[in-house]
Structure 1
Amino acid sequence: MVTDKDGYMHLIQYLTEHLGLFESKDAVSIVDDTVMELFEEQLSAQIIMVCGQNPSLSFAQRNTVIREIDAIVYDLEEILANVANRNATPAQTLFITEFSSLIKNLFDQEIAKMIDA
């Protein structure tokens, strides 16, 4: 659905280009959430929004969306393995919010295609 599309590959590339933002050990954290906790919270919120905006999705289609999010979280865990458990900084929090919104956009596009088909 999403993880096999070029847009997703571009987002993963975008993340890897910004890994330096996550690798700095000198940054001060002002939140108690770790990097992965923030990614999971933000992605969950975005997917709830996607499903809420598309009430015509069938149970099977919603399950597909959830499986895709699980795959994305797995990819993020792999990419961010060294920093996943560090508390997030304000700059990281902003990036995670932006990245999660971009993931939602991918789902919006794919669901629109699926509904139009």
Structure 2
Amino acid sequence: MVTDKEGYIHLVQYLTEHLGLFESSENVVVSGDTVMELFEEQLAAQIIMVCGQNPTLSFAERNTVIREVDAIVYDLEEILASVASHKATTEQTIFITEFSGLIKNLFDQEIAKMQ
């Protein structure tokens, strides 16, 4: 659905270009959540929004969305393995929120094509 699209590849490249943001330990930690927990929370919120905005999605289509999110989380765990358990900083939280919104946009675009 989205993980095999060019837009997703660009988002992964965007994340890898900003890995320095996650490897820096000079920033002040303001979140009780780890980097990976924050990614998971933000993605879950975005996908709930996607499904809520598209009540006509079938059960199978919703399952496809969920499987895609699982694949995205797996990719994030691979990319962020060395920093996934670190507490998130303000800058990281902002980036994660933005990135999750971009993932939602990919789903929005693909769902619009289906209808």
- Normalised by the length of structure 1, the TM-score is 0.97
List alignment gaps of at least 5 residues for structure 2: none
CA deviation map 1:69-99 (0-9, x unaligned): 0000000000000000000000000000000
| Residue 30 (structure 2) pairs with residue 26 (structure 1) | no
List alignment gaps of at least 5 residues for structure 1: none
Report how many aligned residue pairs link the two structures.
115
- CA positional deviation for 1:25: 1.9
Map of 1:53 onto structure 2 = 53
Map of 2:100 onto structure 1 = 100
- Normalised by the length of structure 2, the TM-score is 0.99
Q: Which runs of 4+ in 1 moved over 4 A?
A: none
- CA positional deviation for 1:26: 2.1
More strand by share: 2
- CA positional deviation for 1:28: 1.6
Identity %: 80
Map of 1:37 onto structure 2 = 37
**Cα RMSD (Å) of the superposition?**
0.4
